[in-house]
Copies of this chain bind each other. A is one copy, B any other.
């Protein structure tokens, strides 16, 4: 059992330096270091203090990139990744759960933008171009009595 090339043994090709990680994920080296600082990955170190990443970290980092493209903030991504085990390639169940939660956020953002667009449309189309009754446009005047409450103009 000891010293055998078991499934768990680390081979040298499984320890990936940061430059190769950058190439394989499309992230910059500095971004990867930054993510480590944020606790999103935890590479091991060589005796000379250089980072070595596991193959599963490619997935973690790719996930970060994808989730950002999906519009999630790093903080949210941090929460999602917290559900995944370090050093293990996340499985279908993990991904499925996360996807659902991302999908919900996307839906919410789309709905918000659509509401906004409808408000704008109402304003353009409703005759308010007189600039006398346009809700959107005249809100400033109506605010006069309400004190300086910050930004709750729309929705």
Q: Which residues of A contact B (CB under 8 A)?
A: 22-29, 58-59, 61-63, 65-66, 68-71, 89, 91-92, 95-96, 99-100, 102-103, 106-107, 109-110, 113-114, 116-117, 120-121, 123-124, 129-131, 134, 136-141, 143-144, 146-155
Contacts and interface: CB of A to CB of B under 8 A. Distances in A.
A106 B117 contact: yes
State the oligomeric state as a number of copies.
2
A136 B66 contact: yes
B124 A116 contact: no
A129 B26 contact: no
A interface SS class: helix
Given A23-B144, A63-B137, A65-B153, 14 more contacts: A25-B143, A28-B150, A29-B148, A62-B137, A65-B140, A69-B151, A69-B153, A70-B116, A70-B154, A92-B129, A92-B131, A95-B129, A96-B129, A110-B110
Contacts of A29: 148
Contact of A26 (B107, B136, B148): B148
Given A26-B140, A62-B140, A143-B25, A107 B103 contact: no
A108 to B, nearest CB: 10
Contact of A103 (B22, B117, B153): B117
B116 A113 contact: no
A120 B26 contact: no
A28 to B, nearest CB: 6
